[in-house]
Structure 1
Amino acid sequence: MSWYCDIAPGHPFHGPYHDQEYGFPLTDERALFERLCLEIFQAGLSWLIVLKKRPAMVAAFDGFDVDKVAAYGEAEMTRLLADPGIIRNRRKLDAIVENARRLQALRAREGGFAAWIERHHPLTKENWVKLFKATFVFMGGEVVGEFLMSIGYLPGSHREDCPVRLRLNAFEVPWARVGADFYLK
């Protein structure tokens, strides 16, 4: 997504995400769940729509608290479907709730979402997609690839000459531990 490095700087929505979040390592369960949900919401839509609706989605989904979202029933679904501030796609909304429930089970089995991701690292994108499809719902190559790129587990979030990429070098970005060539397999 190196084109993002061209369009994002200075943009009111893309800029902050590109400069402060995209490609940076994440381990907080709530933040990981939010990012996964945002990628699900983006499927078939522009990332700009997702970024513009993000504050409303954070509010509508109780800050993407996994346990709260996992407890959602039909009343919450009715509320979400009536909320014009969010992306109202029933399949995506159902996937968010189901994935919260699956994250609870994963937490019990693996010690958490971050621990599960780290335990499987490194994998090629193809193998990550297979793993995510076996574990969660509404997972495709774009959702999984962008999610993992956005949290530093797959390379490609920034061009090599991007100032943010240079800042990322100061972090222990997971994909860099094995090098970009590993992911070309």
Structure 2
Amino acid sequence: MGWYCDYAIGDALHGPYHDTEYGFPEEDEARLFERLTMEIMQAGLNWGLVLRKRASLNAAFDGFDVDRVASYGDDDVARLMADEGIVRNRLKVHAVIHNARVLQGIRESHGGFASWIAAHHPLTKLEWIKLFKKTFKFTGGEITGEFLMSIGYLPGTHRDDCPVQVQLMEQGTPWMTIGRDFYEA
């Protein structure tokens, strides 16, 4: 396993994400939706590319306001496909819009995305993948795993001696309540 810390710490692009977001629990709906979308957009590409396009993605998808994205129609898809600032992949764009609509339903059933995730904890990585594939579009194993690592529901790729990992260990994250062995079984 490669450690994100090995190249992220001190890097102008990866450093801020590594130091303040990666592995930290998140409950804000728009931020969770953004993170899931970023992982979807990253599929087959370099994470650095997605980080460079993050501001453009936020602008293009209305700050990841779930209701606004869920209301997108054909004109919005055309606008997004013409936007050079984002990853212009029709399947990914349609998945993001579909997933916003799913999140509206999750609000009805669980009160929100964060509550839905918490209600399913703990699951093994394989169980999470099955759940995400059944619920969302464009959420295979890598996307689901990276998303859940990024919000602390699966063990991430911080080294144990990484200052951020030390901080996460002190404050605790959802996966730590069960332990790494549960997820690696």
Q: State the TM-score, normalized to the length of structure 2.
A: 0.98
> What fraction of aligned residue pairs are identical, expressed as a percent?
62
Q: Which residue of 1 aligns with 2:91?
A: 91
Q: Which residue of 1 aligns with 2:82?
A: 82
Q: CA deviation at 1:159?
A: 1.0
Q: CA deviation at 1:156?
A: 2.4
Q: Which residue of 1 aligns with 2:133?
A: 133
Q: CA deviation at 1:40?
A: 0.1
d(CA) in 1 for partners of 2:111 and 2:67?
Answer: 15
Q: CA deviation at 1:109?
A: 1.0
Q: Which residue of 1 aligns with 2:44?
A: 44
Residues 150 and 157, structure 1, Cα contact 8 Å, conserved in 2: no
Structure 1 stretches of 4+ with a deviation exceeding 6 A read none
| Counterpart amino acid of residue 151 in structure 1 | I
* Runs (5+) with no aligned partner, structure 1: none
d(CA) in 2 for partners of 1:37 and 1:171?
Answer: 26
Alignment of 1:78-157 (within 5 A): 78-157=78-157
Residues 103 and 113, structure 2, Cα contact 8 Å, conserved in 1: yes
| Counterpart amino acid of residue 145 in structure 2 | G
Q: CA deviation at 1:3?
A: 2.1
RMSD of Structure 2 on Structure 1 (CA): 0.9
Alignment of 1:8-27 (within 5 A): 8-27=8-27
| Counterpart amino acid of residue 96 in structure 2 | I
Q: State the TM-score, normalized to the length of structure 1.
A: 0.98
Moved more, 171-180 or 65-74: 171-180
| Counterpart amino acid of residue 147 in structure 1 | F
Q: CA deviation at 1:36?
A: 0.3
Q: Which residue of 2 aligns with 1:34?
A: 34
Q: Which residue of 2 aligns with 1:60?
A: 60
d(CA) in 1 for partners of 2:35 and 2:146?
Answer: 9
1:70 and 2:43 aligned: no
Q: CA deviation at 1:2?
A: 4.5
Aligned residues: 185
- Secondary structure, counterpart of 1:169 in structure 2: helix
